[in-house]
Amino acid sequence: MSIDSDSAALFPDEVVTRAHTRLVEVPGLDGRVALVTIDNGHDHTKPSTFGPAGLASLDSALDEAFAAEPAAIAVTGKPFVFAVGADLSGMGQLSEREYAHRIAKAGHDVFRRLTESEIPTFAFVNGAALGGGLELALSCHYRTVADNAGAIAFPECFLGLFPGWGGTQLLPNLVGADQAVTVILENSLNQNKMLNPGKATGMGIFDIQLESPDFLEESLRWAVRVVNGSSTVQRAEIDRGQGWDDAITRAKEIAASKTHGASPGVNKAVELLELARNNDLDAGYAAETEALADALMTDELRAGLYAFDLTQKRAKKPAGAPDKSLANDVNKVGVVGAGLMAGQLALLFARRLEVPVVLTDIDQGRIDKGVAYVHGEIDKLGAKGRLSSDGVNRLKALVTGSLDKSAFADADFVIEAVFEEMSVKQQVFGELEQHVSPETVLATNTSSLSVGEMGAKLAHPERVVGFHFFNPVAVLPLLEIVRGERTDDTTLATAFTVGKKLKKSCVLTADTPAFVVNRLLTRFLGEVIASVDEGTPFEVADRALNPLGLPMSPMVLLQLVGPAIAQHVNETMHAAYPDRFGLSDNLRRFVDAGKTGVWTTDEAGNQIVDPEVAELWQQGDEPLSEEQVRDRALRALAEEARIMLDEDVVVEAADLDLCMLLGAGWPFWLGGITPYLDRSGYSELVNGKRFHQPGVASLPSS
Amino acid sequence: MAAPASATADTSSGPASAGTPRALRNVVFVDGVRTPFGKAGTKGIYAETRADDLIVKVIRELLRRNPDLPPERIDEVAIAATTQIGDQGLTIGRNAALLAGLPKSVPGFAIDRMCAGAMTAVTNIAGGIGFGGYDIAVAGGVEHMGNHPMGEGVDPNPRFVSDNLVDSSALVMGSTAENLHDRYPNLTKERTDAYAALSQQRYEAAAKAGRIGADLVPVATRSSESGWGLATADEPPRPGTTVESLAGLKTPFRPHGRVTPGNSAGLNDGATGCVVADEETARGLGLPVGMRMVGYSFAGVEPEVMGVGPVPATEKALHRAGLSIDDIGLFEINEAFAVQVLAFLEHFGIADDDPRINKWGGAIACGHPLASSGVRLMTQLSRQFAEHPEVRYGITTMCVGFGMGGTVIWENPNHDETAGGAK
């Protein structure tokens, strides 16, 4: 390989993973085992990855191993980590296809030495094995896995990529195409679901699972038995006919439903899996190499890597958050409102903060119902084994209800989840202030109302902060933390600290209507609805955004959010920005009629517009094409995002993207939204400038 | 927690009524293993390995080698360590039981008698078994002298000096060995060097015959510099050692002294463990019986000459057992210092090179990770018993820092009266 000398130039910031070869004597074996350790020299919080220098190190470690003519070669990782794949930050900086090709090929060339070795090769997967790490393991003849190994997955499709160092070829030929589709596509596109060692072993990815206390010792013993022939390894029969066909069909369905074909990387994964049917590594690896070199030079992938970086780094260090040392301790929480949202909040606070949580509402009946709901959810967690019986008892004891707000006297943090009406919320906060200390944080889960106005009448408005969750609260990771005009740093710091303990990714937003996610979604949905109002058929309008690969179509989104809530937010936005957020009489009629969705299914199971909806929706006679609807929606998004930055709603465009990734589930290949607006030209078209310089979330301009 | 009514009734009618008959039960050594021993320090094989992980490997190997032992039947895990802090702290027996994956119902404790820690773990458990408190238990010891140098964190009471309780040399083991030379002037450096060379040669022969390796559990050893390795053999032995090669070594404890690194054990890391059981329980489970415990004694001596400890401990144990030194066919004596072994042999009139003594060499060759060594002696004696059915009794004995000795007398269950030997 020739990459070593250039590697510093290619990957200037590579944290080099070194491979060390040691020749060890193992009882019962004639000859030695060349034991190769993959170790980047950091502890487990910085797992080992492969860049060009790392691959070169592995290559020379293998030189050393083969030169010793051992009885077996085994690869393992540093404590708790096997290897977690390619060095993504380096990959995201490659400027030439030629370099991308070299790295793609280098991975294959080095790993393949283990596959084609005449000497038996083993991977002892002692910990996390992701992407290229798992491909390294699959490249060996045999694999053991430790029962405490976390994180076994091919996360590539999640990033808009595909396993490119052998994964698409090796996995289906080891465990069958169907299971490979599950791991490579289904799991990855299902919020990057990981395998546990037992499950992965059951699938046949590993030959044997061994207990962690003496994993390496027992792996070596097992390897000796395999080498000596006293243990034989059973491998699944691979169905290369109908089974393979069915798997590819399923892969296409998954890709279609999860990405609408919008991710070239995911499409390529399906193609490569089809190619693997012949089990021809020369052809398969060549195709992977070319595809990887191509993919690394696409804007989609750069946007995916950018998005990944945001969720891994920016989400953990929220921009604009005050120093956490300013935060006050939160040892008791109050929840005002005992409805479904309040119940979800109470459960989350009790589980994550493990402090008393008191619910209140306007009458004892509602309170009892709210507490019973939370206790019921806690019981469900117990029944699922997510909580021990002691844990169930503990959490239930933490969640109580009180009609008397004096129960909040010693609460440090009170959140309201009452009806979305400014006067109601002001009244709640006013009443609370009679009971709580001046430092108690008063948080609102409002989705669109002004946080500043909510606190305006208080003696201590500086303790009011917006704390906007996304439904379902337990699932969606985003928390928009809203700084009102008078919110002080202590309150804000406390809010961020609480948000982090709730395991949410917090983004700071200004106190502007609907904050980030709802504002962008409302703007975009408003344009689609306006198109329908003007005469565009629902079918056309609702398909218009498919090329972006959003998690759901606009009308399905409307149904999920709830038309009444959407209408309410839209009214708020219209009041604030009447020029850009129009009101739809049709939507109002739709809400008034109590309709929840546009789509329904006919007797034959086909999706059709609900006839009642068709009836009440009065359309104009100026239909747009799909392309026109899309153009209109994207222009609107580009305009709104730019205005939001001009209004300082968030610190940077990256925060808008983080919100859309985590709060709306918008895909990695869009980079959230602004990288897509840049690369599709809408940023410059609408605003006269990009959100990011070329090279950020996109290819550098050459 | 309130006991059920029936249990309360049982306890009130049980021990409360004086004179409940008790049967003394036979205690047997089922099986023992150890890690390879390493050299303490940053270059040693265990430089980046934790002490608790060492003992965990031992416990798991005991279970692997004895599949007939149901883990939930283990009544106690008694683990010795001299320095009980850091990776040897947290009540090492309990800590190790949990880390080894034993059922949480299995208790454990930590024990300390310096070098005789593991030996004391065994005698302590044996007492409990004899009394009926346990049926079966794990006993062992660990010392990572790289992580825990001798004397780490000690704070001797100033009265030791002010009240002339002990000489300051009593705290330095090498100095106590020099003191022993003073006491027995005929134990010359030439004799200790000769003994040391013999120990190395015996060890080398035993290792070549596969006798040493058979009792070792391989340990994966981490090195952040060079990757994982596997310890499968003791690190300290120096094959090819001769009297001549020992002659010129330095005497770190006294100018022109007699005690050298060559005629004493080094500073080492390692762990040992064994299964000790009530004989009926062991036989009922189908477990092997390596040795039957006859008796044991510990004895104190002047701390300045702690190395003489095995002499009164052995006299006492023999007396209690009604045996004489002539009944003992095999000896495993710990070799903290050659002079201390020779003092023992001299006392009992046994030749320096008597073949019954440390047949496979001793700590001078393989190393002496303080609290772990006692069980190494026992494991080796049990293996030698199997090879020598003509021998009926053997002892394991060792000197202990701060002026003590400990001896356990064992009976060979393989002993065959017809095999010829009366002993």
Largest CA distance in chain B: 74
Determine, yes or no, domain membership for B113.
yes
Query: How would you classify residue A322: left for phi > 0, otherwise alpha for psi between -120 and 50, otherwise beta?
Result: beta
**CA distance linking residue A600 with residue A588, whole number of Å:** 19
The pLDDT-based confidence of A199 (bands split at 50, 70, 90) is very high
Specify whether the CB–CB gap between B294 and B409 falls below 8 A: yes
Q: pLDDT tens digit string along B311-356? A: 999 999 999 999 999 999 999 999 999 999 999 999 999 999 999 9
Rounded percentage of chain B residues whose pLDDT exceeds 90 = 91
Q: Does the structure show a pLDDT above 80 at B57?
A: yes
Q: How many whole angstroms from its chain centre is CA B400?
A: 11
Name residue B294's amino acid. Answer: V
pLDDT, mean of residues B233-260: 97
Nearest to B272 by CA among B391, B150, B396: B396
> Pseudo-torsion of CA A256, A261, A262, A268, nearest 10°?
110
Is B225 within a domain?
yes
Residue linked to tokens 């005497």: B251
The stretch B48-62 carries a mean pLDDT of 98
Percent of chain A with pLDDT over 70: 99
> CA of A208, closest CA in chain B: separation in Å?
17
pLDDT for res A475: 87
Which amino acid appears at position A454 of this protein? M
Per the CB < 8 Å rule, is A37 touching B213?
no
DSSP class of residue A30 equals S
Q: Residue B59: give its domain's CATH number.
A: 3.40.47.10
Tell me: pLDDT of B85 over 90: yes
Q: What's the rounded Cα separation, in Å, for the pair B91 and B77?
A: 10
Q: Where are the alpha helices (DSSP H) in A364-507?
A: 364-383, 389-398, 422-433, 451-455, 489-501
Q: CB–CB of B148/B276 below 8 Å? A: no
CB A173 within 8 Å of CB A276? yes
Burial of residue A68, with CB atoms counted within 10 A of its CB: 0-12 exposed, 13-18 middle, 19 or more buried: middle
∠A677-A577-A580 over CA atoms, to 5°?
45
Nearest residue to A155 (alpha-carbon basis) of A191, A209, A119? A191
Residue range B60-71, pLDDT digits in tens: 999 999 999 999
Q: Which among A288, A306, A316 is positioned nearest to A91, based on CA atoms?
A: A306
- Does residue B2 have a pLDDT over 50? no
Residue A79 is nearest to which of B99, B213, B222, comparing CB atoms?
A: B222
Domain tally, chain B: 1
* Option in A26, A211, A221 nearest B101 (CB): A211
Distance CA A28, CA B210 (A): 12
Residues A267, A273, A274: CA angle, nearest 5 degrees:
95
What the block records as the tokens of A71 is 């009885």
**What count of other Cβ atoms lies within 10 Å of the Cβ of residue B237?**
20
Tokens of A381: 């967690």
HSE-CB at B18 with a 13 A cutoff on CA atoms is: 0
Calculated CA dihedral for residues A245, A248, A253, A254, nearest 10 degrees = 140
- State the DSSP code for B357: B
DSSP A70: -
Q: What rounded mean pLDDT belongs to chain B?
A: 94
* Rounded CA separation B375/B64 (Å): 18
What local confidence, expressed as pLDDT, does residue B17 receive? 57
Distance CA A625, CA A539 (A): 11
Asked if the structure places residue B151 within a domain, the reply is no
Measured between CA atoms, the residue of chain B closest to residue A32 is: B230
How far is B377 from B398, CA to CA, in rounded Å? 9
Name the 3-class secondary structure at B380: helix
Domains of chain A: 3-297 (3.90.226.10), 324-510 (3.40.50.720), 517-648 (1.10.1040.50)
Contact A26 B217 (CB under 8 A): no
Query: What range defines the domain where residue B321 resides?
Result: 27-146+168-410
Q: Which residue has the tokens 């790289």?
A: B146
Of A25, A35, A39, the CB nearest to B232: A25
Tokens, residue A295: 């993919």
Q: What is the pLDDT of residue B419?
A: 54
Torsion of CA A687, A690, A692, A694, to 10 degrees: 180
A22/B226 Cβ within 8 A: yes
| CA A385-A388-A394 angle, 5° bins | 135
Q: Per the domain annotation, does B285 fall within a domain?
A: yes
- Please give the distance of CA B396 from its chain centroid, rounded to a whole number: 8
Q: Which residues of chain B approach chain A closer than 8 Å at the C-beta?
A: 53, 56-57, 60, 99-101, 213, 217-220, 222-230, 232-233
pLDDT of residue B21: 80
Pairing of strands A599-601, A607-609: antiparallel
Task: Give a three-class secondary structure readout of A395-430.
Answer: HHHHEEECCCHHHHCCCCEEEECCCCCHHHHHHHHH
What is the pLDDT, as a whole number, of residue B327? 97
Answer whether residue B423 is part of any domain.
no
CA-based nearest residue to A129, from A70, A80, A94, A95: A80
pLDDT band at A10 (very low <50, low <70, confident <90, very high): confident
Residue B60 lies in a domain: yes
Judge contact between B269 and B144, C-beta under 8 A.
Answer: yes
pLDDT at B10 over 90: no
Q: Judge whether residue B401 has pLDDT over 50.
A: yes
Positions of B marked active-site? 115, 368, 399
On the question of pLDDT at B418 being above 90, the answer is no
Tell me which chain A residues have a C-beta less than 8 angstroms from the C-beta of B57: 213-214, 217
- Say if CB A462 and CB A492 are below 8 A apart: no
Q: What is the pLDDT of residue A13?
A: 86
Distance, CA of B215 to CA of B33 (rounded, Å): 5
Residue of A nearest to B101 (CA): A213
Which A positions 219-248 lie with beta carbon below 8 A of chain B?
220-221
| B15 vs A139, residue with greater confidence | A139
Select from B33, B98, B228, B235 the residue whose CB has the most chain A CBs within 10 Å, as the one to mutate to test that interface.
B228
At A247, the amino acid letter reads A
Instruction: Please list the active-site residues of A.
Output: 135, 156
B20, part of any domain: no
The mean pLDDT value for A395-406 works out to 95
One-letter amino acid of A299? D
Classify residue B266: in a domain, yes or no. yes
pLDDT tens digit sequence for B151-188: 899 999 999 989 999 998 999 999 999 999 999 999 99
- From chain A, the residues in CB contact with B220 under 8 A are 214, 216-217, 220
Residue A661 has pLDDT above 60, yes or no: yes
Is the interface score ipTM higher than 0.85?
A: yes
d(CA B258, CA B193): 9
In this structure, of A227-236, A442-451, B18-27, B125-134, the range with the lowest mean pLDDT score is: B18-27
What does the pLDDT read at residue B344? 98
> What tens digit of pLDDT does each residue of A268-287 get?
999 999 999 999 999 999 99
A98 in contact with B, Cβ within 8 Å: no
Give the pLDDT score at A8.
67
Per the structure block, which two tokens stand in for B323? 């045996």
Beta bridge partners of A400: A358
pLDDT at A47 over 60: yes
Question: For A518-574, what is each residue's pLDDT tens digit?
Answer: 999 999 999 999 999 999 999 999 999 999 999 899 999 999 989 999 999 999 999
Banded pLDDT at A435 (limits 50, 70, 90):
very high
A43 touches chain B (CB under 8 A): no
**pLDDT for B417 beyond 80:** no
